[in-house]
Structure 1
């Protein structure tokens, strides 16, 4: 009997690669035609396409010293939503404290799209500038 829910192991592989900063493993999780949307005006905002662009964005996020706490994994028919809490502080005193939903659309065992929804778009934009 076929399940009508997304494969959570894809999201777990995404989280594992992100947490380990294992960009080669991340490349195996992301679909070649991946699109990732992020609101705001910061350096990580906008819609990007492709694995290289996604890995670059992830490296920039990690490079800012974010502490990412996984709150929940929510499973749907076509993907998984990661409920997260990000905090960080830059040497010049800028702080980030946001909740976000990272929606992973899964097709063919890979992440085909990422849509990020933030609790504090202005705060993220200021932090990533």
Structure 2
């Protein structure tokens, strides 16, 4: 394998990992998500809402992904952005309920070590919009604004 081919092979690895990350979110395949992260993975989101702050460890990160999915969010992938070993997803997330609309552009940046995600950080285009949409859920899985 020459240096050019070898570099292309290396660059495809984070692209495949990015596709797997996105697929796990859109299909709610939490075992798949778990399989591509390290045990001490962290996910940080800005804002002051039900999904904000730092989630630390696989279980907390999966709980966060599940919570976001429970709000009915559609994760539209616009671009996969690559560095040598890390990746970012450029997403357009949307959702709607009777009292709020989510229409958010974001970048989720993932740090990778040895082929697994070690750190996730999400950058938002509209933190206030996220704060308004991601109000706490009740036990019935409905937002407090709908009860």
TM-score, with length taken from structure 1 = 0.93
Q: Which structure features the higher share of strand residues?
A: 1
- Please say if 1:64 is aligned against 2:56: no
Contact 2:21 2:33 in 1 (8 A): yes
Distance 1:61 1:15 in 2: 13
- Please say if 1:47 is aligned against 2:54: yes
Higher relative contact order, chain-length normalized (CA < 8 Å, sep 6+): 1
Distance 2:36 2:24 in 1: 9
The gaps in structure 2 that reach 5 residues or longer are 136-147
Distance 1:84 1:94 in 2: 19
Deviations 1:35-60 (A, max 9, x none): 11100001100111100000000001
Deviations 1:8-46 (A, max 9, x none): 111111112111111111110111110111000011001
Distance 2:84 2:117 in 1: 14
Distance 1:62 1:16 in 2: 13
Which protein is bigger by CA-based radius of gyration? 2
Distance 2:19 2:84 in 1: 16
The gaps in structure 1 that reach 5 residues or longer are none
- Please say if 1:96 is aligned against 2:94: no
| Corresponding pairs, count | 128
TM-score, with length taken from structure 2 = 0.82
Contact 2:89 2:108 in 1 (8 A): yes
Pick one of 77, 81, 94 that aligns with 2:88. Answer: 81
C-alpha root-mean-square deviation of aligned residues, in Å? 1.4
Corresponding residue of 2:139: none
